[in-house]
Structure 1
């Protein structure tokens, strides 16, 4: 590539920021206020920000040194074998379409601002409309239509203008006394005597990790940079910029409304907080921008899971029909399968007490599996090449992902195991089709598959016993 024609530092930094900001930032405050005061929230942002920066730097390093790897699962496959590649790729696929379920909930809640029949985002009317949107987007992608640069520009503007308007107004209405009144103490109703800082800190982790899902896509643009140094700088500047935006958007409202009031606000919280700040037009302003932004993101994330399984089929991790393209160049089987599963989960919204948090937690838990493999391969690859600096970056990235999911969402990993059950069947069919290992699972693969099945059974049992709520 001619470096003079590559992306500049500014363009790369903007890409990191805009590709990572999704619907999650519009729901942050209420989700966080449900379990934590501003002090623990700030502490959690510090830790999560560091962990995500280490992950982004690991992805950036691997991309620059292993440019031939296609798809995030390729690092797991190259470093630890085919089964690891399958586990990583299937987890990424699960995360991609589960994220669309979260999009659906927020989209319907946003429409509910104008049409009360959709308020809350998880009633019959919401499920019907969300189902229609899901299948229409699937049809569009199946026709080979991709989001154009002009469309992405519009979507970016619709995301950023309401967000910056909210932050600016939030600074002007900020009351220091209210912000510091219960800085470390959880005062939300229903929490007897509050909860300790450690408990509050843990309650923030999954929510914060969710808003960084997609940062891996931004790192992939490093290959189009004018220089490798620009790619690394853009990653650091972009992650820090994201952290500043997320911290301000989520913490400033603590200086305007009490934690208890914030926790009770309907989702998307930013919409109703801004309405309270500036009047009725504020809610409409945020809502319109959010609706357009979600539709654009949903289109992109309709393509992403299908592309993931298509790449896995090319690597012989899934049967060839996952990668078979129609006359428009779209993987129809993967698209329809993904849409059908989204449909099933949309029906679950009718019975879920907190549909949005449930969907985002499953989405985050699934993608953490991929991120863990990235950290592991970063450590292995750097150790093999005697690159101590990059090895430590990988160690920090790996440690953060493992510790965070252990503290905040281990039970969601058990539920994700359920989603791996059909994947194990497809992986076995791929081995038979391509005659890998004589078409049989190896002893190690049998052991790992058994552990996944046990995890899935445990998840079902815990749900049945009421120990895991959905």
Structure 2
């Protein structure tokens, strides 16, 4: 059996939103593209996450597994969409192709918020590990260290895609191999008594599962990295899919194995209060105190690598949207093959959020990162919906088995994103909605500056009679007869 598509005026080989056609070529090979995913996903959070999850008990391992499966499904969806639409912007291009430019704008806006707010979070965590050696504990000292951590990736990105890719590959190897070492070797030191209770939260099973899963969600932010930078990838029709899935699988393996290894080597009571769970795990495996220095060094490398990748992404999304007339045109300006305005603006906004954190309320920054979790999920949701839309309305004839497989991945992926939004909590969802709504005046301003005042569509009166149209190319602001 085969699936017969509905008629469509948008062939799969057409130039994609964002301006890239199927012949687009890039600089990043498969290894560098995969490193971009791994480097974007694995930042500094993994070095504290096992201790955070321990307070919910070993149920968090189950939650980690569920979220990991969901993340892999989203990566598979990115792979399918990236092969069909190999354009910069990734989720933005997919949403615009399926649902129109306003959905594309909301996706781009949401991701852009995630990128520079999330970068501030990475920078703040990175400062803590740098100060393990420097001890610059004053507010001014912390801000200065964070400025260095943000300036170095910005300068590397501004120097060109090749340098950015090389730095990303090196830092990914340097942080991934030691993490994998802990994850694998730790399995030989497991003790059942260390794991603690299954549900240590004191609440219901579902509440503990939901909360611990919500904590894991942001750990996977970055699986869309190579899809967003698709035009910079060689052979994007193949390598976007492979890099997305390979990178996500590698991260899932390290996350799951390291969480199990640490929970099984560090006694539960000690792990709950730990500020360096990887160091504590190594101390229990081999003894000694040098492991604190080792893990701090790993975290520094991991953080600077994550900032390097995310600095690129914070510019790529608005670049793609601006090229299609939905972000200010300045974001399309290029130098050394990179959209330098996006890098400068994104880095500046990140510095502002970082400074606000240190000057006003460090404790409030956790709430800001939770907002970033919701804004992360929205592009995933639109991407899964775009894939489902394509399968239902535009897919070319395929076997029933392949169609069933792709539909299942799209439907489960969409359900997973809705679950992630729910798990972020009502307060974070409300605040994230407000941040999304703030983008609407920006959209209006950009469209008005281009002389575009609405779709060229026929309006009807109460009786169904045509009364006029909204032009797309003139200065009129109302219907014309």
TM bin, normalised by shorter chain, reads 0.7 to 0.9
Superposition map of 1:291-306 within 5 A: 291-306=300-315
| SS of residue in 1 equivalent to 2:224 | helix
> Displacement of 1:101 after TM fit?
1.3
2:346 counterpart residue number: 338
Structure 1, 92-101 or 19-28: larger mean CA deviation? 19-28
| SS of residue in 2 equivalent to 1:101 | helix
1:82 counterpart residue number: 101
TM-score by length of 2: 0.77
Aligned with residue 92 of structure 2, among 32, 55, 73:
73
Q: In the superposition, relative to structure 1, how do residues 439 and 129 fare at CA in structure 2: closer, same or farther (>3 Å)?
A: farther
Q: Deviations over 1:295-342 (max 9, x none)?
A: 1221222222122212111010012123234x5555454333323321
> Displacement of 1:210 after TM fit?
1.5
> Displacement of 1:47 after TM fit?
1.7
The structure with the largest helix share of the pair is 1
> Displacement of 1:112 after TM fit?
2.5
Aligned with residue 57 of structure 1, among 76, 84, 93:
76
> Displacement of 1:355 after TM fit?
6.0
Corresponding residue pairs, total: 424
Q: In the superposition, relative to structure 1, how do residues 16 and 100 fare at CA in structure 2: closer, same or farther (>3 Å)?
A: closer
What are structure 1's unaligned runs of at least 5 residues?
187-193, 444-470
Aligned with residue 183 of structure 1, among 179, 183, 198:
198
Question: Which structure is larger by alpha-carbon Rg, 1 or 2?
Answer: 2
Question: What is the distance in 2 between the residues matched to 1:334 and 1:13?
Answer: 23
Superposition map of 1:432-443 within 5 A: 432-437=448-453
1:204 counterpart residue number: 212
Q: Deviations over 1:95-154 (max 9, x none)?
A: 111221121122111113223334xxx955323321343245445544557634442332
Aligned with residue 37 of structure 1, among 57, 79, 93:
57
> Displacement of 1:161 after TM fit?
2.6
What are structure 2's unaligned runs of at least 5 residues?
1-21, 396-402, 460-481
Superposition map of 1:409-424 within 5 A: 409-420=425-436, 423-424=439-440
Q: In the superposition, relative to structure 1, how do residues 219 and 66 fare at CA in structure 2: closer, same or farther (>3 Å)?
A: closer
Q: In the superposition, relative to structure 1, how do residues 436 and 219 fare at CA in structure 2: closer, same or farther (>3 Å)?
A: closer
Structure 1, 351-360 or 48-57: larger mean CA deviation? 351-360
1:463 counterpart residue number: none
> Displacement of 1:41 after TM fit?
1.0
1:116 counterpart residue number: 135
Aligned with residue 151 of structure 1, among 167, 177, 188:
167
1:465 counterpart residue number: none
TM-score by length of 1: 0.78
Question: What is the distance in 1 between the residues matched to 2:99 and 2:237?
Answer: 30
Q: In the superposition, relative to structure 1, how do residues 339 and 310 fare at CA in structure 2: closer, same or farther (>3 Å)?
A: same
2:179 counterpart residue number: 163
> Displacement of 1:218 after TM fit?
4.3
